[in-house]
Structure 1
């Protein structure tokens, strides 16, 4: 089943009591009050048909119906609540109307608000500390969306089990894992350069490089991280050619059988990183449990 991200923020323009009602009542919701009929001044639209709306109202209500019909896992954040809520929507659920009050953002403070909602079949609240590893990769915009990047982590956390594999980590956490591996004694076992400090945020700053840092012998380490097979990602490996000079290290973490050297680049199995760091290293095991919210 798909996982969805839902944001209940000030953009909904609902008062604090209504936001609290949504959270404590296990609701996920959208508030698009204006339909094509032009009767908004008489009150919010009560239509549950996406075709009665334009733009974001139409697409958001359509997405809500998709979740209700097909079911899925959700990660919801609510204004004024520092944590988050994980939930499950069973297939065949219904989108319904819930009444609340408008907030203070616009000119309709205190007016009745007609909110389109789904009630979660079951849920679990996360504290601020428990939710931070999820929020660090949450979508930056929009009210409701299919959340591909989080993988199976929401489902695993809600269901109370964690698949201990590389695939259970989102791509950004795979990058962090490889960085922490290079800092650890586990890397020295394979005569890899030991990372002393980084020179850029992991995975976000440079187009061709996921990890950029300095080794203990004062050489630059430039690394790419991918969960694809080496045979299917030669073009990504070639991106490292420009950084492979003056005694510096270039590394490529990917799915492959064993450590190797290709065109001057250190090739290292990402599954072996997981085994040596997340399973065999005490600090790495602690890191994995913490980022997975255990």
Structure 2
């Protein structure tokens, strides 16, 4: 490979990595706003005035989620504290932990924040377990949806699948920690990318939901999207967002491996 070709390849890889970083950062910011400010908030019962304001928005037929999904965490304090609030902390760490300059200039803070990031993800999955146990997953709140359960088990197929995703989410974090302890920092980064992909899809799903429902409103003026329609959008965009994020995560890892390979060749 000629010098100019190698330089063009390095520029292409760096450009793609920067775009992916910006995309993940925007998703992180969006998720924080979604939880704390937008109609997706789970904390609308904290004060009377805030509760009344949000409730009126929740009951609006223009909200992109079915009303039942928007209000399902009402009075679910343990779920709020063990899943929703930790999710804010988790996504807030992502832009810092994956910023090359931050990792280089603030190594000690990076390690401390990394521990918070990992332990927080464990708390999130404990909260997810509560959600499944309390039957607060989306299928139980959608109209005209038949719950398909596993034979001999009181759990839906979707909840079982999401449980596997949750285990993979925790498993990737554990693999990342193990790699860091062995000072295999590239491997550590790969597993962290997979960990983030298995969690950040939730944010992409919300973006896709807003897009689909608003497009419906624009092209069918005067026609309100029903809760049944919004429910189908919610379920389908969830699986689509998960597939996209996982594929993008593996693509990112592929770029990093190519970058590392090119650096080795350059040294030789």
How would you bin the TM-score normalised by the shorter chain? Answer: under 0.3
- Give the alignment's TM-score, normalised by structure 2: 0.23
Larger CA Rg, structure 1 vs 2 = 1
Q: Which has the higher contact order (CA 8 A, sep 6+)?
A: 2
| TM-score, with structure 1 as normaliser | 0.21
Structure whose residues are more often helix by fraction: 2
